[in-house]
Amino acid sequence: MSDENLPEVNEDKMECTTCKKKNSACISFLAHENAMMHKDTDNERAHRTTLFVCIAFVLIVIIFVAAYTIRTSIWLDTINKLVAEIVELACAKGIPAP
């Protein structure tokens, strides 16, 4: 940044000299810095919140996928055991296995 674009600030009164040249009102340098500091804090908080929401979403998806996989595995094992028992009973009675 070049120094020629920056407004001159009177350290005693904390007034900028370009405000006198303008028709509209101008805020002080400290007020502007305070507003920017609060804006930065808000942006950081929003970023952190978004990150936490994304992490929570991924964890919930992992939990549901793991639970579904385990439940499906248990159900398939049960079906395979039942089919094995049916085949064993069918063979014991002399009926051809399905």
For every residue of 34-97, DSSP letters joined together read HHHHHHHHHHHHHHHHHHHHHHHHHHHHHHHHHHHHHHHHHHHHHHHHHHHHHHHHHHHTTPPP
Residue 14 lies in a domain: yes
Whether 70 is covered by a domain: the verdict is yes
Q: Cα(20)–Cα(48) distance, rounded to whole angstroms?
A: 41
Residue type, 18: T
Question: Between 22 and 30, where is the model more confident?
Answer: 30
Task: Indicate if the pLDDT at residue 15 is higher than 90.
Answer: no
Q: Confidence band (pLDDT; 50, 70, 90) for 27?
A: confident
Within a domain: residue 27? yes
Record the tokens describing residue 13, joined without a space.
């009164």
Q: Give 29-75 pLDDT, tens digit per residue.
A: 888 899 999 999 999 999 999 999 999 999 999 999 999 999 999 99
Element (H, E) at 16: strand 15-16
In a domain, 1, yes or no: no
Tokens of 17: 């000299």
pTM: 0.56
Domain count, the chain: 1
In a domain, 4, yes or no: no
98 found inside a domain: no
- The domain in which residue 45 lies consists of 9-92
